Structure 1
Amino acid sequence: MQVAVFGGGYAGVSLVRRLEKRLPEEADVLLVDDSGEHLVQHELHRVVRRPSLADDITVPLTDVVDRASIRRARVTEVDPEANVATLDGGDTVEYDAGAVALGAETAFYDLPGVEEHATPLKRIDHAERIREEFLGALDADGRAVVGGAGLSGVQLAGELAALAREEDAEAEVVLLEQLDAVAPGFDAEFQRAVREALDDRGVDVRAGTGVAGADADAVELEGGERIPYDTFAWTGGIRGPDALRGERPQVDGRLRVGGSTFVLGDAARVVDADGEAVPASAQSAIREARTVAANIGALVTDDDGLFEPRLEQFRFDSPGWLVSVGDGAVAQVGPSVVTGRAAVALKASVGAGYLSSVGAVRNAVDLVNEELGLSVE
Structure 2
Amino acid sequence: MSSTTTEKRIVVLGAGYAGLSAAKGAGKHHPVTLVAPEERLLHRIRQHEAAAGHGRDWPALSQLARGRRIEHRRARAVELDLAGHKVLLDDGTALGYDTLVYALGSRTAWHDVPGAAEHAYPVERAAELHRRLRDADRPGTIAVVGGGATGIELATELAEAHPRWRVRIVAAGQVGGWFSVKGRTHVRRALDRLGVTVHENAAVTEVTPAGLRTAAGPIEADVTVWAASMEPHPLAAEAGLTVDARGRAVVDGHLRSVSHPDVHVIGDAAAVTVPGTGALRMGCATALPMGQYLGKLLAGRTDEPFAFKYLAQCLSLGRRDGMLQLVRGDDSMRPTVLTGTAGRLAKAAIVAGVYSALK
TM-score by length of 1: 0.82
1:83-98 alignment, distance < 5 Å? 83-98=85-100
Letter of the structure 2 residue corresponding to residue 265 of structure 1: G
Letter of the structure 1 residue corresponding to residue 356 of structure 2: S
- Specify whether residues 184 and 256 from structure 1 end up closer, same or farther in structure 2 by C-alpha distance, changes over 3 A only: farther
Greater displacement, 275-284 / 131-140:
131-140
Q: Contact conserved, 1:138 with 1:164, CA < 8 A, in 2?
A: no
Aligned to 1:362: none
- 1:333 corresponds to which of 313, 326, 335: 326
Instruction: Give 3-state SS (helix, strand or coil) of 1:145's partner.
Output: strand
- Specify whether residues 11 and 219 from structure 1 end up closer, same or farther in structure 2 by C-alpha distance, changes over 3 A only: same
1:207-246 alignment, distance < 5 Å? 207-223=200-216, 225-244=217-236
Q: Contact conserved, 1:151 with 1:183, CA < 8 A, in 2?
A: yes
Residue 39 in structure 1 maps to residue 47 in structure 2: no
- 1:19 corresponds to which of 23, 26, 36: 26
CA deviations over 1:104-152 (Å, ceiling 9, x no partner):
1110011111111111002xxx222222333455834x11001112111
Letter of the structure 1 residue corresponding to residue 146 of structure 2: G
Q: Distance in 2 between matches of 1:238 and 1:20?
A: 29
Letter of the structure 1 residue corresponding to residue 9 of structure 2: Q
1:142-181 alignment, distance < 5 Å? 142-165=140-163, 169=164, 171-179=165-173, 181=174
Percentage of pairs with the same residue: 29
Aligned length in residues: 332
Q: Distance in 1 between matches of 2:77 and 2:49?
A: 28
Q: Contact conserved, 1:251 with 1:268, CA < 8 A, in 2?
A: yes
Instruction: Give 3-state SS (helix, strand or coil) of 1:183's partner.
Output: coil
Q: Contact conserved, 2:53 with 2:130, CA < 8 A, in 1?
A: no
Aligned to 1:130: 129
Letter of the structure 2 residue corresponding to residue 88 of structure 1: D
Instruction: Give 3-state SS (helix, strand or coil) of 1:98's partner.
Output: strand
Q: Contact conserved, 2:179 with 2:325, CA < 8 A, in 1?
A: no
Contiguous gaps of at least 5 residues in structure 2: 1-7, 239-246, 328-333
Q: Contact conserved, 1:177 with 1:210, CA < 8 A, in 2?
A: yes
1:295-334 alignment, distance < 5 Å? 295-297=297-299, 312-327=304-319, 328-334=321-327
Q: Distance in 2 between matches of 1:292 and 1:184?
A: 33
Q: Distance in 2 between matches of 1:272 and 1:83?
A: 28
Q: Contact conserved, 1:8 with 1:37, CA < 8 A, in 2?
A: no
Instruction: Give 3-state SS (helix, strand or coil) of 2:315's partner.
Output: strand
Q: Aligned Cα RMSD in Å?
A: 2.2
Aligned to 1:7: 14
Aligned to 1:77: 79
Larger proportion of helix: 1
Q: CA deviation at 1:330?
A: 0.8
Q: Contact conserved, 1:273 with 1:314, CA < 8 A, in 2?
A: no
Contiguous gaps of at least 5 residues in structure 1: 302-309, 360-377
Q: Contact conserved, 2:45 with 2:284, CA < 8 A, in 1?
A: yes
Q: CA deviation at 1:5?
A: 0.8
Letter of the structure 2 residue corresponding to residue 19 of structure 1: A
Q: CA deviation at 1:203?
A: 1.2
Q: CA deviation at 1:194?
A: 2.0
Letter of the structure 1 residue corresponding to residue 49 of structure 2: R
Residue 347 in structure 1 maps to residue 347 in structure 2: yes
Letter of the structure 2 residue corresponding to residue 14 of structure 1: S
Q: Distance in 1 between matches of 2:272 and 2:266?
A: 8
Q: CA deviation at 1:80?
A: 4.3
Aligned to 2:3: none
CA deviations over 1:69-91 (Å, ceiling 9, x no partner):
11111111234454322111332
TM-score by length of 2: 0.85
CA deviations over 1:262-290 (Å, ceiling 9, x no partner):
11111223222336111111121011113
